[in-house]
Amino acid sequence: MQNLSKNPICFTLILILCLKTNAQTDHDSYMKREHSLVKPYQGAGIAIPFWDFYGSTMVSTNYVRLTADIQSRSGSLWNQVQCMVQNWELIVQFKVHGKGKELFGDGLALWYSKERMIPGPVFGSKDYFSGLAIILDTYSNHNGPHNHQHPYISAMVNNGSLSYDHDRDGTHTQLAGCEAKFRNVDYDTLISIRYENDVLTVSTDIENKNEWKQCFRVEGVKLPTGYYFGASATTGDLSDNHDIYAFRFYETSPTNVQNAVNRMSIIPEAALFEAPRPRTDDVKPGMSNIKIFFILLLGMIVAVAATIFGIMYYQQRKESSRKLW
Ligand SMILES: *[C@@H]1O[C@H](CO)[C@@H](O)[C@H](O)[C@H]1NC(C)=O
Ligand SMILES: [Ca+2]
């Protein structure tokens, strides 16, 4: 321990490791069947208990395919049971894959929303939604430079007043996000969405390491109880298979029934938006470092020149005043 405290970097590393372990998912908590979707799905492709599907969605033995790798498809999958759990974790096993090497899209969204089964432009679901969308965007619609790579995972909280802007890949309405290379890999890819005491934490397990990596954590997220879980995906000119393998829902701490009922009437809200959210191609590019360097250099030259002239002037005056005397 003495050695450790003498070595601050090592100590910090160990501290981070400890914190990470503590933050890791506690899978001993109880999986709630009414919000979960696990194999065997039952119903032989016709009906899955607690779940409805819409559009291009197809159920097979191993996965639910929201869209196939075909242009202009849209599909969704919705839980039938309102969520009255206050603190929860949802783990979704998914797979996004297709023929496209360079061009593929558009992506999928995981929902906790008031409305269900309503098709629309936000990855196959309704715009101006109420609730939470976790968006797994595989295609960058943005023509200008982005400040991140795709695929990209982001969160958006909406009270029904905001529109998801595809042209900006939703960057100016997102709470937070992270890059995530989940596409076309041949191992399992999972995302965890944790909502506890108004804190939203999204983590991924997409590197075949069997461990969670935090994507983002946002405090002050207000979500009501009584909304529905869902998943939707869409393809346009570009396509991909968007498959859901499992939804696993856990109640992470016991719910107080009265609180849960009271929370049904709150309006979705997020205290902290990611700041700043630049709309990059609208903004004139700022001064480049080279420009700043030259301006500083010019300033220095002017200052040096002024000093030299000043000294020369002073000496000349001294000399001329000497002559006068
Ligand atoms: C809904 O959200 C918008 C944008 O965040 C906000 O301006 C508005 O006040 C909110 N409305 C309600 C009723 O909370
Ligand atoms: Ca996009």
- CATH number for the domain spanning 263: value is 2.60.120.200
Q: Find out whether the beta carbon of 21 lies less than 6 Å from any atom of ligand 1.
A: no
Nearest to 129 by CA among 146, 107, 110: 110
CB 57 within 8 A of CB 202: no
Residues 19 and 78 in one domain: no
Q: Is the pLDDT at 325 greater than 60, yes or no? A: no
State the pLDDT at residue 280.
47
- Do 125 and 11 belong together in one domain? no
Closest CA to 175 of 268, 293, 77: 268
Nearest-angstrom CA–CA distance, 114 and 65: 23
Residue 312: pLDDT above 80?
Answer: yes
Number of structural domains found in the chain = 3
- CB atoms near residue 166 (< 10 Å): 17
What is the pTM (predicted TM-score) of this model?
0.77
* pLDDT of the residue at 10: 47
In short, whether 265's Cβ falls inside 6 Å of ligand 1 is no
The verdict on 155 and 257 lying in the same domain is yes
- Position 302 pLDDT exceeds 60: yes
Residues 142 and 204 in one domain: yes
4 and 36, same structural domain?
no
Residue 243 included in any domain: yes
Is 242 a member of any domain? Answer: yes
Round the average pLDDT of the chain to a whole number and report it: 86
Same domain, yes or no: 155 and 72: yes
Q: Are residues 195 and 211 in the same domain?
A: yes
Q: Whose CA is nearest to atom 7 of ligand 1?
A: 161
Within a domain: residue 279? no
Domain membership of residue 87 as a residue range: 31-270
Mean pLDDT of 63-92: 98
Query: Do 189 and 248 reside in the same domain of the chain?
Result: yes
Any domain includes 277: no
C-alpha separations of 160 from 71, 115, 170, 246 in Å:
29, 10, 15, 28
Q: Are residues 40 and 183 in the same domain?
A: yes
Q: Which residues pair with 230 in a beta bridge?
A: 78, 111
Query: What is the SS3 string spanning the chain?
Result: CHHHHHCHHHHHHHHHHHHHHHHCCCCCCCECHHHCECCCCCHHHCCECCEEEEECCEECCCCEEEECCCCCCEEEEEECCCCCCCCEEEEEEEEEECCCCCCCCCEEEEEEECCCCCEECECEECCCCEEEEEEEECCCCCCCCCCCCCCEEEEEEEECCCCCCHHHCCCCCCCEEEECCCECCCCCEEEEEEEECCEEEEEEECCCCCCCEEEEEECCEECCCCCEEEEEEECCCCCCEEEEEEEEEEECCCCCHHHHHHHHHCCCEECCCCCCCCCHHHCCCCCCHHHHHHHHHHHHHHHHHHHHHHHHHHHHHHHHHHHHC
159 lines ligand 1 (CB under 6 A): yes
Point out the ligand nearest to the CA of residue 136: 2
Is ligand 1 within 6 A of the CB of residue 161?
yes
pLDDT digits (tens, 9 = 90+) for 82-132: 999 999 999 999 999 999 999 999 999 999 999 999 999 999 999 999 999
**How many A from CA of 261 to the centre of ligand 2?**
36
127 with 66, same domain: the answer is yes
Confirm or reject: Cβ of 272 under 6 Å from ligand 1: no
Residue 281 within a domain: no
- The CA 205 to ligand 1 mean position distance, Å, reads 34
Is 29's C-beta closer than 6 angstroms to any atom of ligand 1?
no
Chain segment 198-218, per-residue pLDDT in tens? 999 999 999 999 999 999 999
Sheet with 107-113, edge to edge strand ranges: 51-55, 74-79, 228-234, 107-113, 130-137, 152-159, 176-179
Whether 236 is covered by a domain: the verdict is: yes
Decide if 170 contacts 154 (C-beta within 8 A).
Answer: yes
Q: Report yes or no on 13 lying in a domain.
A: yes
Claim to verify: residue 4 and residue 141 sit in the same structural domain: no
The residue to mutate among 132, 161, 173, 221, having the most atoms of ligand 1 within 8 angstroms of its beta carbon, is 161
The answer, yes or no, to whether any atom of ligand 1 lies below 6 A from the CB of 312, is no
CA of 139 to the centre of ligand 2 (A): 4
> Which tops the pLDDT comparison, 322 or 196?
196
The residue ranking higher by pLDDT, 112 or 294, is: 112
Do 251 and 177 have their domain in common?
Answer: yes
In this prediction, residue 324 carries a pLDDT of: 54
Q: Is any atom of ligand 1 closer than 6 Å to the C-beta of 267?
A: yes
Task: Indicate whether 63 belongs to any domain.
Answer: yes
Q: Which ligand is nearest to the CA of 267?
A: 1
Closest Cα to atom 6 of ligand 1:
161
Amino acid at 163: S
Residue 13: pLDDT over 80: no
pLDDT value of position 140: 93
Is the Cβ–Cβ distance between 32 and 249 less than 8 Å? yes
